[in-house]
Amino acid sequence: QDAAKGEALFKQCQTCHRADKNMVGPALAGVVGRKAGTAPGFSYSPLNHAAGEAGLVWSQENVVEYLADPNAFLKKFLTDKGQADKATGSTKMTFKLANEQQRKDVAAYLATLK
Ligand code: HEM
């Protein structure tokens, strides 16, 4: 993975995200290593919030999976934790990144945002 390439790819994320402030999406500085659904002051969907409560902590690896299909990722996480009852509704993140190399690069860049 290449964080420099990821920085260029992050432009697509900036439609909704900034590192240091909430916009349409939550602030992403420090997201790698952070419990899901916990950017201060951001109003998350019940689905994203529930995944964090069920133990989801963002890592470079799981962000790579998440970006392929955020809804599917969060629902699978909850279902695997025995919380299929909470795997309902949709995430507010409607964006997907199909290209796996691009997902790896952007996740590597996120890990540099402290
Ligand atoms: C949530 C990353 C593009 C809107 C998230 C989260 C991550 C993330 C890691 C979970 C945050 C948390 O649990 O604290 C990215 C990356 C993107 C991207 C790396 C680009 C590759 C976008 C775009 C939009 C968007 C383009 C808007 C069209 C949102 C929203 C949430 C979110 C609204 C909150 C989801 C919820 O509450 O269900 N994003 N995102 N994101 N993102 Fe993105």
Residues whose CB falls within 8 Å of the CB of residue 26, separated by 6 or more in sequence, listed in order: 17, 39, 42, 44
For 37-73, what is each residue's pLDDT tens digit? 999 999 999 999 999 999 999 999 999 999 999 999 9
114 in a labelled binding site: no
CATH number, domain containing residue 93: 1.10.760.10
* Model pTM above 0.90: yes
- Best residue among 56, 95, 102 to mutate for probing ligand 1's pocket (most ligand atoms within 8 Å of CB) is 95
**Which pLDDT band, with edges at 50, 70 and 90, does 76 fall under?**
very high
Please give the pLDDT value at position 1: 87
Q: Yes or no: say if 45 and 75 are a contact pair by the CB < 8 Å rule.
A: no
Q: Among 14, 93, 101, 113, which is best to mutate for testing ligand 1, by the most ligand atoms less than 8 A from CB?
A: 93
**Structural domain boundaries, residue 106:** 3-112
ipTM for the assembly: 0.98
Q: Which parts of the chain fold into alpha helices (H)?
A: 3-13, 46-53, 60-68, 70-80, 100-112
Q: Which of 87, 65, 54, 67 is nearest to 13 (CA)?
A: 67
Residue 93 annotated as binding?
yes
Domains: count for the chain: 1
> What mean pLDDT, rounded, does the chain reach?
98
